[in-house]
Structure 1
Amino acid sequence: MRLAIGADHAGVGYKDILATELRTAGHDIVDVGTHGTDSVDYPDFALAVAELVASGDAERGIVVCGSAVGVCIAANKVPGVRAGVCHDTYSAAQGVDHDDMNVLCLGERVIGIALARVITEAFLGADFSAEPRHRRRLGKVLDIEARHMRGGGER
């Protein structure tokens, strides 16, 4: 699978570990940075991953920061991206299975690397179920996105 991965300074440790392990497992990894521990701005890396996923240049994305919250907020601003904070395997798999989540957000200061690994495996091992109820709900989410992209967000 072609994956985009990125992190800020608070997530670069896990990003580097996961990117190496995912490459070894046979995935095509696009690492958008950061590549050091100097303070950087998380939206830059969340945006880079999200744009690769939204454009189809990556099938899925992973972003890491200290808490996962900031990168999740930033990634979800890109149309076509459905990012979720997942600090357990159930949410990672269910997010894909039910909600067609395409960007996983992890918090390096929240979970250990062993858990980050199994969460990533759960995320990558899941597929959107496409059951009628899940397609219907995803359709409603996409309708919300489309309405706000047109500037008609008011009800």
Structure 2
Amino acid sequence: MKIAIGNDHAGTQYKLAVIGLLKSMNIEVENYGTDGTDSVDYPDFVHPVAKDVSDKNVDFGIIICGSGNGASITANKHQKVRSALCWTKEITVLARQHNDANILSLPARYISLPQALDMVKAFLETKFEGGRHERRVEKIPCN
């Protein structure tokens, strides 16, 4: 499995912890995020993740910014991307089961680091249920 990850300055600590978790799970990581805490523009770090997901160069993406909103909005501009802003493990599971989310957007300023790591694990371990949900997911793209 290969994951692309991107973050702005608000998500650096979380990104480093997520990368550690992914590597402990023998998952390859493509790191597009900043490693610093100086203010940066989240789209610069989210677009490469979303492009990798859209082009199927990676299995999933993880994006992290302060609220998770800007990152998720940016990612969802890309075709074939279904970025889900999640704030609990339960929402994360539903985003995979019902929406076939392929990017997890984490709000670093609103969840704890242990919560974020649990959400990443849940995101990667949860399968899309298909069935009635597949019909709905197929209706998402505008083209």
TM over 0.5: yes
SS at match of 2:122: helix
Structure-2 separation of matches of 1:56 and 1:31: 16
User: Match of 2:119?
Assistant: 119
Q: How do 1:114-153 and structure 2 match up within 5 A?
A: 114-131=114-131, 133-142=132-141, 145-146=142-143
Deviation at 1:130, TM superposition (A): 1.5
Q: Residue type matched to 2:21 in 1? A: E
How many equivalent residue pairs? 143
Tell me the equivalent position of 1:153.
none
Deviation at 1:128, TM superposition (A): 1.1
Letter aligned with residue 135 of structure 1: E
SS of match in other structure, 1:17: helix
Query: Any idea what the Cα deviations from partners look like across 1:82-105, whole Å, max 9, x if unmatched?
Result: 001101111111111111100000
Contact 2:21 2:117 in 1 (8 A): no
Secondary structure (helix, strand or coil) at the match of 2:6 reads strand
In the alignment, structure 1 segments of 5+ residues that lack a partner are 147-155
1:58-73 equivalences under 5 Å are: 58-73=58-73
Which is higher, the Rg of structure 1 or of structure 2? 1
Segments of structure 2 that go 5 or more residues without pairing to the other structure are none
Counterparts of 2:123 and 2:58, CA distance in 1: 15
Identity %: 39
Q: Which residue is equivalent to 2:96?
A: 96
- 2:22 aligns with 22
- Give the alignment's Cα RMSD to 1 decimal: 0.8
Provide the C-alpha distance between the structure 1 equivalents of 2:24 and 2:122, rounded to a whole number of angstroms: 17
Q: Secondary structure of the equivalent of 1:109? A: coil
Aligned mates of 2:78, 2:6 — CA distance in 1: 15
DSSP 3-state at the match of 2:10? coil
Map of 1:150 onto structure 2: none
Q: Equivalences for 1:1-80 in 2 at 5 Å?
A: 1-80=1-80
C-alpha separation in 2, matches of 1:118 and 1:62: 13
